[in-house]
Chain A
């Protein structure tokens, strides 16, 4: 009696017995199906989220470092960063002169939530950026209408402005924004360019921005706390660039050896890490819920298999009398349990895929399910059945043949 024969015969019996108690089988596999569907829908939605985030992050520019007093993501005591010395123009110039790996070094200063007006139209919640010409190069902005800011704009403290596509659309719904005048905090600016559309990141529009020359910004808002964006020629060189930038800044800011940096070098990757930390917790909870559903399904299978073993006690006795080994009986019932479960898994998979698809149609989340996930869903369901079939199968195999034969 080989395992091959056990599997063949066990499989035949399993397929046949599925058809005997159709309603019972259906109910059992529905429970497993719901578990698998839940799990798959959750995994699909999260995979979709991750994919969308990765794509958007890539558009942010992966070859850029940001030097600021504070890190992108503050963990722990925020006041530690508050007391740091400001970054000065002289430090930025030193960085630009001494760095050999940087392709561009630009200042960036921000005011959030500004309001722009033109005629009767207004746009609020605009992120205002003060910067110089190379900012365009570093962040990969395209300017299909007009031009970007120039260094001369900054040196002359001109009142010129470049609008994000959404700002331009809202202020000038029916006409070109170029050379038009907009009001920002009671001062008129002349529009010299409009940026190409960038889309959203985590639901936030990247096109609700406006850029003015760096020195104009400093003159108007009197702000001295700015950041430095450093572009690398090659994304692969980012680690070396970070080392170089850190070294130069420690020198020019006179940080004694052994002391921690009194500035932060940030990367968009840090955002990705924060995102992953946030979602992995969510992921864990959601997958946990799916697993509990599957556990309930598994217990259902165990229950039904125990009933089946009891109902077929005589059959087990007959098979044992005719020469079936204990292992043969175990294989037979395990196959039956995992088959019910796998069928449930297949049905659940299709529902789970449907749910994920529905989510991607109804919401802006692009739920994605990889082919491997589908196979995984069916395989995992079969494993659940196998696991919860162990006890009933062992009970079946432990039956005494004499007692089983005379069981009524």
Chain B
């Protein structure tokens, strides 16, 4: 198992009120799986993504990533886990505007302590892998949205992480470019990468072999991608019909 979650809870305090963003979530994800986490906004899927990405720690419950219990780790240990085990792909790309494509891809390797020559070689290879071998010296504002997301994917891949974590990766792209990015994910899946895709779009989730639906901080459905995504649509249709 790559990911094992056991009764994960995450509570926030907003003013005097306690918000239960995650209310006891348990699931497992194996190596090489491609899983969509689907849910409405406010369902808790972003909180789950933050916990799985080690950007946030659960209030209760345990989380094993690649055999290590991450839930009780210190801030420094979590930073190292993020650096080694996780590759983030964000909706808004999150590239550093002043760095070139190459500089952006090199960044996680700097924090790993690699030498400059080594970093450059690996970053260049990662950019070639996503089809941007001819754009290494461009800055983000000189690239199209799809190209920026490819730079972000190259940055996620360059550390050879055990988990790729994508948060609405096509959200800021037009549909054609979005399709290209999804095509790239399919390619990565075939190569054996483990992919976790957080989205609110059923059509996107339907393309994943497995999907987990989150609602009100709990898992409400876990199964084959098209089934879960369509069931969600059915639910909404039923809800609309009831009113």
Taking Cβ atoms with an 8 Å cutoff, the residues of A that contact B are 1-2, 5, 9, 16, 20, 314-315, 317-328, 401-402, 405
Q: For B50, list chain A residues within 8 Å (CB).
A: 402
Contact code string B154-174 (vs A, CB < 8 Å = 1, else 0): 010000000000000000000
From the candidates A315, A323, A326, A327, name the one contacting B108 in the complex (CB within 8 A): A323
- In the complex, whether B187 has a CB less than 8 A from a CB of chain A is no
Q: For B144, list chain A residues within 8 Å (CB).
A: none
Docked Cα-Cα span, A322 to B89, in Å, equals 11
Docked Cα-Cα span, A327 to B79, in Å, equals 11
Q: Are B53 and A322 in contact (CB under 8 A)?
A: no
Q: Number of B residues whose C-beta is below 8 Å from A?
A: 24
Docked Cα-Cα span, A327 to B80, in Å, equals 12
A400: shortest Cβ distance to chain B, in Å?
Answer: 8
Docked Cα-Cα span, A325 to B54, in Å, equals 13
Given contacts A324-B111, A405-B90, whether A315 and B79 have CB atoms under 8 Å apart is: no
- In the complex, whether B75 has a CB less than 8 A from a CB of chain A is yes
Q: Which residue from chain A places its CB closest to the CB of B116 in the assembled complex?
A: A8
Given contacts A9-B110, A315-B96, whether A323 and B83 have CB atoms under 8 Å apart is: yes
Q: Are A325 and B76 in contact (CB under 8 A)?
A: yes
B81: shortest Cβ distance to chain A, in Å?
Answer: 8
From the candidates A5, A319, A321, A324, name the one contacting B55 in the complex (CB within 8 A): A321
Q: Are A405 and B56 in contact (CB under 8 A)?
A: no
A108: shortest Cβ distance to chain B, in Å?
Answer: 78
Given contacts A1-B80, A402-B55, whether A323 and B111 have CB atoms under 8 Å apart is: yes
Q: For A323, list chain B residues within 8 Å (CB).
A: 79-80, 82-84, 108, 111-112
Q: Are A5 and B110 in contact (CB under 8 A)?
A: yes
- In the complex, whether B88 has a CB less than 8 A from a CB of chain A is yes
Q: Are B56 and A402 in contact (CB under 8 A)?
A: yes
Docked Cα-Cα span, A326 to B78, in Å, equals 11
From the candidates A5, A9, A320, A402, name the one contacting B79 in the complex (CB within 8 A): A320
- In the complex, whether B125 has a CB less than 8 A from a CB of chain A is no
Q: For A9, list chain B residues within 8 Å (CB).
A: 110
Docked Cα-Cα span, A45 to B76, in Å, equals 51
Q: For A2, list chain B residues within 8 Å (CB).
A: 113
B136: shortest Cβ distance to chain A, in Å?
Answer: 18
Given contacts A318-B95, A405-B90, 19 further A-B contacts (CB under 8 A): A1-B113, A2-B113, A5-B110, A16-B98, A20-B98, A318-B94, A318-B96, A319-B107, A321-B88, A321-B94, A322-B82, A323-B79, A323-B82, A323-B108, A324-B111, A325-B111, A326-B75, A402-B55, A402-B56
- What are 23 pairs between A and B in contact, CB < 8 Å? A1-B79, A1-B80, A1-B111, A1-B112, A9-B110, A16-B98, A20-B98, A318-B94, A318-B96, A319-B107, A321-B88, A322-B88, A322-B108, A322-B111, A322-B155, A323-B82, A323-B84, A323-B111, A324-B79, A325-B111, A402-B50, A402-B56, A405-B55
Q: Are B113 and A5 in contact (CB under 8 A)?
A: yes
Q: For B76, list chain A residues within 8 Å (CB).
A: 325-327
Q: For A322, list chain B residues within 8 Å (CB).
A: 82-83, 88, 107-108, 111, 155
Docked Cα-Cα span, A83 to B82, in Å, equals 88
Docked Cα-Cα span, A325 to B84, in Å, equals 13
Interface residues of B in 151-202 (CB under 8 A from A): 155
Docked Cα-Cα span, A319 to B79, in Å, equals 10
Q: Are B53 and A321 in contact (CB under 8 A)?
A: yes
Would you list the 3 A-B pairs with minimal beta carbon distance, nearest first? A323-B83, A323-B111, A322-B108
